[in-house]
Amino acid sequence: MTVVGYDLRLRPTQPPTPAPDAYTIQRAEVAPGLSLAFLREGIGGRPLLLIHGYPETKRIWWRNVDALVAAGYEVIVPDLRGHGDSDLSADDTYDIVTYSRDLHTLVHDVLGHEHCGVVGGDVGGVVAVDMVHRFPGFVTGLCFFDTVPPILIEAYSAAGIDLGSIRAIGDGPTGDYRRRQGQEPDLLAAELATPELRRSWVGAMYGPRLWASPGTFSEDDIAFMTEPWSEEARLRAGWAVYQLGHARTATENPIMDRPVEIPTLIFYGADDQVVGPDFIHCCEVAFPNRVGPLVLPGAGHFLQWERADIFNPTVAVFFAGLAALDPVEPGTDG
């Protein structure tokens, strides 16, 4: 999908990226013997959980944290288990429901929030939808972008959507990574035998594989994003969700078989080569209580970074509007 007449050379300058050590990283145990790393800024504001996907860590949110804190939010940004600075799973358990339970434990049980807003794309978006259904009342509002929409086959068909044309994640023009990470991880891991090769594999997704809009990640940006992926065990943890359709078994199936009724803000990056534009039509069916989908020019799969100039104020205003409709004490609900 393209936005006719949009000149990438004229894309506005994005907010500056904070230094790699700009935030204090905290840790909390969310399962026996397993701790998540997370940052928590703006304590006392309305809690807002930001959930990354693959090939991301909490670093993908670096351009969003300060703006959302300034808008009055307590911003909670974890690394999923096995990702970034979080612990690896001793029993190799990585799936959507496990991530969902981990994050609910972190925000609800450890940090003490009965409710929160949630923002998620890619794997993080699927985790967020599962949280909406698995923990009723916990997620008061959702921001959802560039990922797998709820699986509502009959509803999509009834709406006239051509089910055969829906592009699965990774079926785009550079989608061989989906097959390799899902079906032949041992062979791929053997080929990526050094930290440099592992970082190069991930870095290509920010560059020539065109997950991102061209030029939105500099060489320094890519180095920052890929540094956590230098270890084989972490790269394999990131591949786990791709294997769920093959040999890997999930602990439970995520709840993706029903519409999402809570207020939802939906974005789509116009240049995304991973998630096809059919995402827009599916979301119009699956999210009856929505704002959008808002299509962002000059952005691809990592739109929170690529168009932070649009993403940050829109997210801030959306969740503020929900708070105005259902006021609660800051720092206790979201």
Phi, psi for 28 (deg, rounded to 5): -150, 140
Per the structure, how many domains does the chain have? 1
Q: What pLDDT is stored for residue 145 in this prediction?
A: 98
Residue 225 forms part of a structural domain: no
Residue 21 in 3-state DSSP? coil
Residue 210 forms part of a structural domain: no
Q: What pLDDT is stored for residue 219 in this prediction?
A: 96
Q: Which domain holds residue 275?
A: 8-167+253-325
Q: What pLDDT is stored for residue 1 in this prediction?
A: 44
Residue 34 forms part of a structural domain: yes
CATH number where 138 lies: 3.40.50.1820
Residue 246 forms part of a structural domain: no
Residue 207 forms part of a structural domain: no
Strand partners, 265: 143, 291
CA distance 269 to 276: 10
pLDDT in tens, the chain (334 residues): 445 568 888 999 999 999 999 999 999 999 999 999 999 999 999 999 999 999 999 999 999 999 999 999 999 999 999 999 999 999 999 999 999 999 999 999 999 999 999 999 999 999 999 999 999 999 999 999 999 999 999 999 999 998 877 765 555 555 688 889 999 999 999 999 999 999 999 999 999 888 999 999 999 999 999 999 999 999 999 999 999 988 899 989 999 999 999 999 999 999 998 999 999 999 999 999 999 999 999 999 999 999 999 999 999 999 999 987 765 545 555 4
Q: What pLDDT is stored for residue 175 in this prediction?
A: 67
Helices (H), the chain: 65-70, 96-104, 123-134, 153-158, 176-183, 185-191, 195-206, 219-226, 232-243, 278-286, 303-306, 308-325
Residue 152 forms part of a structural domain: yes
Q: What pLDDT is stored for residue 166 in this prediction?
A: 74
